[in-house]
């Protein structure tokens, strides 16, 4: 259900009708919003009935249109009855989706029904009562008796313009859309004879689509009522050759994207109880074994215990005597046979037409031709199929319950990804569309925007290409920055139409996923599927290993050494190995010992004096005395690991050599980073994404970092930068550097908003942000917190305690501000950012739940091993995970116990990364060292290693143009169609196996949803037959 701000389902004028619809009545779609039906429509807001600014030219307010029609009440009553005869709404009470409408209005009106004379609804029916409530005061010129609350995102004074007929305007306003909304799709063809859009969404579009031009509208715009339903269409696609909005400040594209809001009263009681149990376990309020078993699966105590098996056996024996269960299983077999026939390719794969654009986010440049079509084939290989009753071992009810929970979680993640321009896999999105009886389209996809690197003849430090400034004003409210058109709009508290997150809605979605990972049937189902995936890969490897090797052997020129690899998780302060740092220290001491490099207590010190104050001679230093390498003493001791960033244990040397802000302006650190970058450029095939720190102590940190980047010319085509935010508010607060947590958030994000709105006033930062692709949240996850994030948590402005906020608190407010910032930058045609936090290395399992909602990808993810539900969700959503087994070996998990090999076999989207070469590696090529050790320990094949390398490029922030060059022109397509073996050296057999396996798992969920619909329809038909026979 999509709730309006300040109004709930029970408090709305439709509350009575909504309660009756739960008993089986068909709800009239006149602004009704109820969670028990699989569709949602728009209410008529006050802005359409009364106008502060008066009617626009050629148009009248909706209230006046209805008054001019005189007897609009009776006519629209007949119209409503006519439409409802041709539509059947299926109940979705069993599937409580908070935002996306999973079930659709199925049947279209037949040709014979169009010409029937409409009849008014019965006075006592819910349709008649709701219609009278909607039209009361609108006919015969009477004033409305009650004004409905104005939804968020709808501008006051908005008018329904460009309607050719007043009757058409009235019907369009009734449907909530110029083209006819949910339940009123028939109004369009009844009045204008236009083709009927697909039912269920405004304008027949999915929420994130660009609206299509309706009849009577000269522009492809949608009505402001779209925001009332909480939908968020994406930005309109730029025409080929259209001027970018960066060129002129006034040419901003309209983006009616709204954050869909929910009410806490909509949370199911069982969901709330399970979520609270998980909360209690996290806070260590419950130390019982039952609470632990809610979401963890210890290695020595798997799910398949004797008692659990006995309970499952009893349930299956009880189901054998049920006729209804037999019918449902029969429908499963029928649906499954159809799904298998679609997944099993019987002929050679053929490459479809090649497109150079993964999404409408990147415009087609004029004069640039399409790339040549690259033909490909998938050699014949042996496939593993399972026949018979594929629900064996799991009861039908448990199977459907697990499937509905997993689908709901995927829809929730899809919502948050689209709002923040994070990536969501095409295959999963296509299956989610098929479950809604819709066809996936290219326009449905939302992708981040990364700028390609400058050409060889271009200056990467050019400060003259900044676009013009705007008059926008930014203000923080509740820890989130709001954007206003000007100061007057800020005084009226009317922000721009951008998706601003809602804390209550987020906590509801978080509770749903938390409750799901503690649900017994869902855990059992996911545990079985994950075991099957691992076993299936073992069979595939046994049957097709030689075929894959033969395919790679026949691939000319390409091998593991010359495929592109990206170090997707590395910290800039430790991007060099310990020998490199030692040589650099000795070299600078030898050549610059008399240079003034520091100032202490007002006294300037030369490099020689710095070492003398430490009582050491650089000539005597060794890698052992440098003491920056992690060993056995750092295992489960994150505090000792952090001290390894201090060479020789001296913080003075860290400030001098590994910081961007010091007396030298970070010169030594910049020189070392440039040396590492030069080695990458010479290697040609390796890239990295180092993290630079922004602490939030001062708003000047961003400016200083941008100046460091430009003055020392740190740009490299083999590097993309990520900003890491350490979670150390408690340290700053204890030193009285910050008044509250909101000030820290403001220092982190306000300079970015200012550089986006007024780039000519912040040229250095605007330039630096071109090469920044994401944000990271870092610190020790194993720290315990006494606070669990919820909608009752204090706002950041009033978080004045010296205690550190919990992990989920950090992630939500970072995601919220990144989401608003990305939408603002998208309007201006600038690059967007991904949120890529450290997650799942240690600590609570709830960290992974928060990241599932808010993050594009994560680093580490070790705790997924303990939660089969989350692990299976991360697989279905193909969430990228950058794993660092050598780093984990020194900190939290022994190398032999690392789940990387297990995750890779199951099909999770895994890449290898180094984390901190200075602490964990010995050679100059730390990434190759990581691959070599993994291949030796786990006996990875060449195809395995190349698959990891390909995944790293896909996960990275490299631009679309670069990925096309490194992976192939169709890299964004999934399966063997998106793989160019000549560039990736990944066998087409492997890609086909991965793709078919993912489709197989998604089809299980799709079949369960279809069986649920079939069961609902059969029950409805049986009820109708019973009522007819009794009559």
Q: What is the DSSP string of 378-444?
A: ----------S-TTTTS-HHHHHHHHHHHHHHHHHHHHHHHHHT----HHHHHHHHHHTT----GGG
* Distance between CA atoms of residues 754 and 741, nearest Å: 20
Distance of CA 579 to the CA centre of its chain: 40
Q: Say which of 73, 512, 860, 909 is annotated catalytic.
A: 860
DSSP state of 689: E
CA distance 823 to 813: 16
Quick one: which H or E segment has residue 642? helix 638-643
Cα-trace Rg, the chain: 30
Six token digits for residue 741: 């947590």
What tokens were used for 259? 């954050």
The token pair at 949 is: 């390398």
Question: DSSP letters of 451-510?
Answer: PPPPPTTS-TT--S--------EEEEETTEEEEESSHHHHHTT---S-----HHHHHHHH
Q: What angle separates helix 72-85 from helix 126-135, to the nearest 10 degrees?
A: 140
* E strand or H helix that includes residue 679: helix 667-683
Exposed e or buried b per residue across 876-891, where buried means at least 16 C-beta atoms within 10 angstroms of its C-beta = bbbbbbbbbbbbbbbb
Q: Quote the CA–CA distance of 447 and 449 in Å, as a whole number.
A: 7
C-alpha separations of 529 from 540, 618, 923 in Å: 16, 57, 40
Helix (H, G, I), strand (E, B) or coil at 716: coil
Q: Say whether 766 is catalytic.
A: no
Angle between helices 701-711 and 741-757 (to 10 degrees): 50
CA distance 887 to 268: 41
Query: Which residues are 483's β-sheet partners?
Result: 474
Choose among 867, 857, 727: nearest CA to 785.
727
The tokens for 735 are 């030193």
DSSP state of 830: -
Largest Cα span, the chain = 105
Q: How far apart are CA 177 and CA 175, in angstroms?
A: 5
The Cβ of residue 186 has, within 10 Å, a number of other Cβ atoms equal to 25
State the first-to-last Cα distance of the chain, in angstroms, to the nearest integer: 36
Closest CA to 529 of 49, 1003, 1: 1003
Q: DSSP letters of 938-964? A: HT--HHHHHHHHHHHHHHS---HHHHH
Q: E strand or H helix at 772, and its extent?
A: strand 772-778
Q: Rounded distance, CA 174 to CA 414, Å?
A: 30
Q: How far is CA 626 from CA 582, 589, 622, in A?
A: 7, 15, 6
Tokens for 630, please give them.
């992690």
- Beta-ladder partners of 858: 881
Least Cα distance to 673 among 653, 695, 694, 689 occurs for 689
Q: How far apart are CA 866 and CA 295, in angstroms?
A: 8
Three-state SS sequence of 244-289:
CCCCCCCCCCCCCCCCCCCCHHHCCHHHHHHHHHHHHHHCCCCCCH
Q: Tell the residue number behind the tokens 């409750």, with chain if given.
A: 515
> Residues with catalytic annotation?
860
């Amino acid at each position: 259900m999509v709730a309006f701000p300040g109004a709930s389902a029970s408090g709305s004028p439709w509350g009575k009708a909504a309660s009756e619809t739960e008993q089986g009545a068909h709800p009239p779609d006149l602004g009704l919003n109820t969670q028990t039906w699989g569709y949602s429509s728009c209410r008529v807001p006050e802005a359409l009935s009364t106008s502060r600014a008066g009617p626009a030219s050629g148009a009248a307010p909706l209230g006046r249109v209805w008054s001019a029609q005189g007897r609009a009440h009776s006519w629209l009553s007949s119209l409503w009855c006519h439409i409802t005869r041709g539509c059947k709404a299926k109940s979705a009470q069993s599937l409580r989706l908070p935002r996306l409408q999973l079930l659709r209005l199925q049947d279209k009106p037949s040709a014979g029904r169009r010409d029937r004379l409409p009849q008014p609804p019965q006075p006592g029916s819910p349709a008649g009562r709701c219609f009278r409530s909607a039209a009361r005061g609108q006919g015969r010129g009477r004033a409305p008796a009650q004004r409905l609350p104005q939804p968020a995102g709808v501008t006051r004074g908005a008018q329904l313009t460009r309607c050719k007929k007043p009757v058409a305007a009235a019907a369009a306003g009734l449907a909530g859309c110029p083209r006819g909304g949910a339940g009123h799709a028939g109004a369009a063809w009844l009045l204008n004879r236009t083709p009927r859009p697909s039912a269920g969404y405004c304008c027949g579009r999915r929420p994130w689509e660009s609206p299509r031009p309706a009849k009577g509208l000269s522009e492809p715009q949608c009505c402001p009522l779209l925001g009332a339903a909480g939908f968020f269409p994406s930005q309109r696609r730029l025409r080929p050759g259209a001027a970018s909005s960066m060129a002129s400040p006034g040419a901003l594209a309209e983006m009616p994207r709204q954050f869909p809001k929910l009410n806490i009263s909509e949370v199911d009681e069982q969901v709330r109880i399970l979520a609270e149990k998980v909360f209690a376990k996290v806070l260590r309020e419950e130390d019982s074994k039952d609470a632990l078993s809610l979401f963890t699966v210890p290695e020595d105590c798997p799910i398949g215990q004797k008692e659990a098996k006995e309970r499952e056996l009893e349930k299956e024996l009880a189901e054998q005597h049920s006729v209804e269960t037999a019918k449902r299983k029969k429908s499963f077999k029928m649906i499954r046979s159809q799904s298998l026939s679609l997944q099993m390719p019987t002929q050679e794969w053929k490459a479809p037409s090649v497109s150079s654009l993964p999404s409408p986010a990147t415009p087609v440049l004029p004069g640039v031709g399409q790339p040549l079509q690259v033909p490909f084939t998938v050699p014949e290989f042996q496939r593993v199929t399972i026949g018979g009753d594929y629900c064996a071992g799991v009861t039908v009810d448990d199977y459907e319950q697990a499937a509905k929970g997993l689908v709901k979680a995927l829809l929730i993640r899809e919502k948050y990804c689209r709002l923040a321009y994070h990536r969501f896999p095409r295959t999963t999105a296509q299956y989610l569309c098929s479950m809604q009886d819709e066809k996936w389209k290219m326009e449905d996809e939302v992708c981040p925007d990364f700028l390609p690197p400058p050409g060889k003849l271009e200056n990467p430090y050019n400060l003259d290409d900044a676009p013009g400034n705007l008059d926008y004003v930014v203000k923080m409210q509740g820890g989130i920055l709001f954007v206003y058109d000007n100061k007057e709009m800020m005084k009226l508290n009317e922000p721009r139409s951008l998706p601003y997150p809602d804390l209550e809605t987020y906590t509801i979605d978080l509770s749903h996923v938390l409750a799901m990972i503690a649900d017994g049937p869902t855990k059992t189902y996911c545990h079985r599927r994950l075991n099957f995936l691992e076993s299936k890969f073992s069979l595939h490897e046994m049957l097709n290993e030689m075929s894959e090797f033969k395919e790679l052997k026949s691939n000319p020129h390409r091998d593991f050494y010359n495929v592109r690899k990206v170090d997707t998780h590395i910290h800039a302060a430790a991007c060099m190995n310990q020998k490199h740092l030692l040589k650099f220290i000795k070299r600078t001491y030898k050549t610059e010992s008399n240079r003034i490099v520091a100032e202490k207590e007002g006294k300037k010190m030369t490099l020689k004096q710095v070492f003398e104050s430490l009582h050491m001679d650089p000539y005597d230093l060794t890698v052992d005395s440098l003491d920056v390498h992690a060993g056995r003493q750092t295992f489960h001791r994150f505090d000792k690991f952090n001290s390894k960033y201090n060479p020789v244990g001296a913080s003075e040397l860290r400030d001098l050599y590994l910081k961007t802000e010091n007396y030298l302006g970070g010169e030594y650190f910049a020189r070392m980073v440039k040396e590492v970058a030069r080695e990458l450029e010479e290697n040609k095939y390796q890239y990295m994404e180092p993290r630079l720190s922004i602490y939030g102590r001062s708003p000047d940190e961003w400016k200083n970092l941008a100046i460091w980047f430009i003055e020392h010319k740190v740009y490299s085509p083999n590097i993309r930068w990520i900003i890491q935010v350490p979670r150390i508010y408690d340290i700053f607060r204890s030193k009285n550097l910050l008044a509250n947590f909101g000030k820290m958030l403001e220092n982190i994000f306000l300079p970015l908003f200012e550089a986006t709105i007024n780039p000519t006033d912040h040229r250095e930062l605007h330039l630096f942000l071109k090469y920044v692709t994401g944000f990271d949240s870092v610190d020790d996850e194993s720290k315990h917190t006494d606070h669990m994030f919820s909608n009752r948590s204090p706002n950041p402005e009033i978080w004045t305690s010296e205690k550190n906020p919990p992990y989920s608190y950090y992630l939500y407010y970072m995601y919220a501000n990144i989401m608003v910032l990305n939408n603002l930058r998208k309007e201006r045609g600038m690059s967007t950012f991904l949120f890529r936090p450290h997650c799942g290395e240690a600590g609570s399992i709830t960290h992974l739940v928060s990241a599932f909602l808010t993050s594009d990808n994560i680093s580490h993810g070790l705790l997924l091993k303990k939660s089969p539900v989350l692990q299976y969700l991360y697989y279905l959503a193909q969430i990228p995970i950058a794993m660092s087994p050598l780093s984990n070996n020194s900190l939290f998990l022994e190398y032999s116990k690392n789940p990387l090999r297990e995750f890779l076999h199951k099909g999770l989207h895994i890449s290898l990364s180094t984390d901190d070469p200075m602490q964990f590696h010995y050679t100059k090529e730390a990434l190759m060292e990581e691959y070599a050790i993994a291949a030796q320990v786990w006996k990875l094949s060449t195809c395995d290693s190349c698959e990891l390398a390909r995944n790293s490029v896909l996960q990275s922030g490299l631009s679309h143009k670069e990925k096309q060059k490194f992976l192939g022109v169709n890299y964004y397509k999934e399966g063997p169609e998106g793989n160019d073996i000549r560039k990736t050296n990944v066998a087409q057999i492997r890609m086909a196996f991965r793709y078919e396996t993912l489709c197989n798992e998604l089809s299980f969920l799709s079949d369960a949803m279809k069986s649920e619909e079939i069961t609902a329809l059969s029950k409805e038909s049986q009820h109708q037959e019973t009522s007819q026979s009794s009559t």
